[in-house]
A and B are shown apart, each in its own frame.
Chain A
Amino acid sequence: MGSRAPATGLGRDLAVVAAIATAILLLPLGTQSGAALHAVILTLLATVLGQGWNILGGFGGQFSFGNALFFGVGAYAAAVLQMRLGINAWIALPLAAAAGAAVGALVGALAFRYGLKGSYFALVTLAFAEVFRILANMLPFTGGGVGLMLPLDTRAAAMQFASRVGYLYLIGAFAVAGFLLHVWLRHSRFGAWLVAIRDNEAAAAALGVDAFRVKLAAIVLCGALTATSGLFYVQYLHYIDPNIAFGPAFSVEALLGPIVGGMGTVFGPLVGAIVLHALSESTRNLVADVPGVSLALYGAVLIVMVRYMPGGIMGLLRRR
């Protein structure tokens, strides 16, 4: 543990992670409702997406607008490995994460080597997601625009579950892994370097931090973690096409949660995901009958939240 890393709070952070893990484990005792379990599953999926983004964007200050790139790579890796090569889903999991990491390394090596920052970095990630979307449409092994439909095979051995509880535990495990990664970032020398680069890259470099390698490592971690959420999506919903995988929807979902929850915090992605899901559900229930009203309200609340909670929800909590 480096001298600059804050040593305090490690125990507390781990305790919170343990509490979250326990809550996920015990949740099925509290409710068997498919709707509730599905809502929690989608919230955790958004959490993992947000965690991936938060590593690079929250801790490292490198905003990605194209995290669907990693989501899609994970999803396609999972589907292609299982359907084209007959590889078991559990073996496909590390391979999908590795594919996400590799694409992260590729994008990072190019972008950071040429010193892209700020909006330039954001746009390059967006462009890569688009390139992959178009490629997925053109290449034969991805099924092109027809997409890939994972056959139903509800056995745990195939990473498919008859009950939603199995999926809850699967995405819960990914989320807990994401939390542990965040706790490590918060309390390790590597994490301190990453934050130093975010706050002032030149100063960090002057102190001997190899900014390029640290950022590269961050985008690799981001790619790997985000890819697992893509794999989960395929296992859970069984169908993927280029627009779902690489379209803007998941890129936006990835950045919304951590920004609303609190960037660069350990639990911001979770808090953001919960708040956004609760918001979208409550606006939906408020005005269900006229299409568009609920989403318009969602947009308005988003604006108001930014206006009055500029540091995200965790920022608000910390100020008190």
Chain B
Amino acid sequence: MPDATILAAALVNGATQGAIYALIALGLTLIYGVLHIINFAHGAALMAALYAVLLLFTGLGVDPYVALPIVTAGMFALGYALQRMVIGPASHGRDENILLVTLGVAILLENLALVAFKSDTRTIDTPYAFATVDVGGVLIAVPKLAALGGALAMTAALFWLIERTDLGRAIRAVAKERQGARLCGIDVEHVFALCYGIGLACVGAAACFLLPSYYVNPTVGGGFVLIAFTVVVLGGMGSFVGALVGGFVVGLAESLGGLAGITLGWGENMGQLGIFLVFIAVLLFRPQGLFGARG
């Protein structure tokens, strides 16, 4: 049996890693909840945002956390344009077309990155990269603590945006009944593009919190897409609080499963097996997720 400190450390790791997953999943759940599309370009968008953070840091010396507003704004613009000019027109309202076009966007972005940045794995060396906070014998990395705070703040901001603003009301109207919203004079295409933009802006924020403790290369997004889907399903498609809680659940399942796997000698990937089994169980028995309302 692992002792209490190890268990506590695993819980903290799970929570901080879960915060990163939640950040990435927030954008995905918004896009899914409103546009009802499965965004296969999400991983590629994360990759693009990570490169933006990298370039700002190495080129202009902008700290990743300072870069947050710049990167989120840039990703919002990219997302708005993508939905308005590429995904929307090409989808023709058909699932299979959305699938293909988001896949096409992912292939395009990944390979443009390969051309532009080559295939090197790049990292940034910030002064706080190895700073830790000691909480009762558990060393918590400062960048991960920042991500935890970021995830909470982002969730609150999105929640406020959707629940308390006019834009949020329009988004909710479109999500619920797009024909009705159109009849009420809402520019549905504009709202779609806004949502996609906000979704990618979340990815931009995630990138700012991720890069100090991770790396970027053209295929980095692939490792997060499936996890993000899992989080979204777990939390309920379209639910921000769900994404946050789902992120923590997945992070903790991965961490504790990994710990169990290591302790039992089955390998760290036990944790990932745990995630997907939970994922399948949720899909089967509670497809609306933990926080989602069906429909």
Contact = CB atoms under 8 A, between A and B. Distances in A.
Given A263-B96, A306-B100, A306-B104, A127 B280 contact: yes
Give the contact-size bracket for chain A: 35 or more
Contacts of A293: 111, 115
Nearest to B119: A291
Contacts of A302: 100-101, 103-104, 107
A27 interface: no
B287 A120 contact: yes
A259 B96 contact: yes
Contacts of B36: 119
Contacts of B229: 123, 126
Interface stretch (A15-23, A34-42, A128-136, A215-223): A128-136
Contacts of B92: 310
A93 B32 CA distance: 41
A303 B108 contact: yes
B169 to A, nearest CB: 25
Contacts, number: 131
B231 to A, nearest CB: 12
Interface string B34-49: 0010100000000000
Contacts of B86: 303
B93 to A, nearest CB: 9
Given A128-B280, A134-B273, A138-B266, A123 B104 contact: no
B284 A259 contact: no
B106 interface: yes
B186 interface: no
B112 interface: yes
Between B91, B229, B280, the greatest number of chain A beta carbons within 10 A of the residue's beta carbon is seen for: B280
Contacts of A290: 115
Interface residues of B, number: 50
B97 interface: yes
B112 to A, nearest CB: 5
A303 B276 contact: no
A203 interface: no
B226 interface: yes
Contacts of A116: 283-284, 287
Contacts of A111: 283-284
A124 B279 CA distance: 8
A131 B273 contact: yes
B38 A122 contact: yes
Interface in B270-293: 270, 272-273, 276-277, 279-280, 283-285, 287
Between A122, A290, A303, the greatest number of chain B beta carbons within 10 A of the residue's beta carbon is seen for: A303
27 contacts: A57-B96, A63-B96, A111-B283, A114-B287, A116-B287, A119-B237, A120-B233, A123-B229, A123-B279, A124-B284, A126-B226, A127-B279, A137-B269, A138-B269, A138-B270, A256-B100, A259-B96, A259-B99, A260-B100, A293-B111, A299-B106, A299-B108, A299-B110, A300-B108, A306-B104, A307-B89, A310-B94
Pick the 9 closest A-B CB pairs, nearest first. A299-B107, A292-B114, A299-B108, A302-B104, A296-B111, A303-B104, A307-B90, A295-B111, A292-B111
